[in-house]
Amino acid sequence: MTQDRASRRLPVVACIIAALMLAIAPMPDWASPFRPDWVALTLIYWAMMLPRTYSVGTAWIVGILLDVAQGSLLGQHAVALCFVAYIAVKFHLQFRVFPVSQMTATVFAILAFYQFILFWVNGVAGVNAPAVAYWGPVITGTLIWPLLTLFFGSVRYRARP
């Protein structure tokens, strides 16, 4: 990899590492169910904007790292993030031309699908969790999506050659 390509990937990799750190950062017990899915939101954005570089393979690696960091069932987040990245890559041309309101609604649907996969895997494994643990991250992730796109847009501008 050349120095130019490495310098263009560094801001995106830093965003993914920051999302992993935010996903495992301690929070108060009352706020923990409302933690946004930082990793899923980050991968949705970068899979939509740079689909040839960050897609299902990146989602698998980051998902395994998230599983290990959170101590959850190994492969649970990896599989869910792969589905999310596949959807984002498959429809990236349509998503990129959506207005912010429509893209926010689409991200709501993708995050709900992500949480459904986690719910299904937890159900198969026999892990019980309250409903707020699944719907809280979807709602907060949807609410912060417009601000996150502004931030990632500035990072993407800096990552251009």
**Separation between Cα atoms, residue 19 and residue 38, nearest integer Å:** 5
Stated as kind and residue range, the H or E segment containing 67 is: helix 56-70
In sequence order, what DSSP letters do the residues of 109-160 get, joined into one string? HHHHHHHHHHHHHHHHHT----THHHHHHHHHHHHHHHHHHHHHHHHHHHH-
- Distance CA(58)–CA(93), nearest Å, equals 19
pLDDT at 160: 60
Map out the domains of the chain as residue ranges.
3-159
pLDDT of residue 67: 95
The pLDDT of residue 149 is: 94
The pLDDT assigned to 84 comes to: 97
Taking only the tens of pLDDT, the chain with its 161 residues reads 566 676 778 889 999 999 999 999 999 999 999 999 999 999 999 999 999 989 999 999 999 999 999 988 999 999 999 999 999 999 999 998 999 999 999 999 999 999 999 999 999 998 888 888 899 999 999 999 999 999 998 887 765 65
Q: What is residue 3's predicted lDDT score, i.e. its pLDDT?
A: 67
